[in-house]
Amino acid sequence: MMDILEKLFGTAAKVKIMRLFLFNPTSTFDLQQISHRSKVTPQATRREIINLHKIGLIKRKSFYREFVRGKGKRKKIERRRTNGWTVHEEFEYIKPLQNLLIDISPLRDSEIVKRLARVGKLKLVIVSGLFIQNWDSRIDLLVVGDNLRKGTLENTIKILESEIGREIRYAAFETSDFKYRLAVYDKLIRDILDYAHEKLLDKLDIEAKK
């Protein structure tokens, strides 16, 4: 689906940055944050920000951002005023663009499972929340498997976030831990399974064990 959006809006970079702003309409980001979260080069970020500002989708806004100085015991967090960008609330096509980008997901279900395959031996993958437009859900993604690699999972999630444009709330469990939580009716697990969700992969046959 991303290729369709690229043809509509010009570049993949523009689509990613538009998603970041439109799905976080009350947030303000500086160029560094936009580039980092969208996984777009600084040069491309500056170019697309200029274009989005020209059409009136975003506006300049100063805000306070936290910066980390030093390391270890000398590490300090400072709040500094910096210049950034936010959605221009008076832009008349905000809602239509949000709806379009929500309806045209950059990732198919099979692509999500494929991306996650590197994190370990997957047994269960469930999506909810932003993936199915269920905004009241506590979790967007549940991953269960054996020998899960935390670092690989975190990196994969960050890449998915850059393409989707929003932070992904996720939970990951080793199979044994998940089975225990399922047996004792863990609240987080029940909140996922008892409400709207979609199973992209299920090697545990969890519905039969409810």
Which candidate, 201, 139, 133, places its Cα nearest to that of 172? 139
Percent of the chain having pLDDT more than 70? 93
Report whether pLDDT(32) > 90: yes
Q: What is the pLDDT of residue 14?
A: 92
Amino acid at 92: E
Report whether pLDDT(174) > 80: yes
185-206 pLDDT, tens digit per residue, is 999 999 999 989 999 999 998 8
Instruction: Tell me how far apart the alpha carbons of residues 153 and 166 are, in angstroms, rounded to a whole number.
Output: 17
What is the CATH architecture of 2-103? Orthogonal Bundle (1.10)
pTM over 0.85: no
Tokens of 20: 């970041």
Tokens of 183: 């047996």
Q: What is the pLDDT of residue 66?
A: 85
Mean pLDDT of the chain: 89
Residues of the chain with CATH 1.10.10.10: 2-103
Report whether pLDDT(78) > 90: no
112-121 pLDDT, tens digit per residue, is 999 999 999 9
Number of Cβ atoms within 10 Å of the Cβ of 146: 11
Residue 5: band (very low, low, confident or very high) from pLDDT cuts 50, 70, 90: low
Instruction: Tell me how far apart the alpha carbons of residues 58 and 172 are, in angstroms, rounded to a whole number.
Output: 35
Mean pLDDT of 109-128: 93
If you write DSSP's letter for every residue of 119-142 in order, what string do you get? GSEEEEEEE-GGGTT-TT-S-SEE
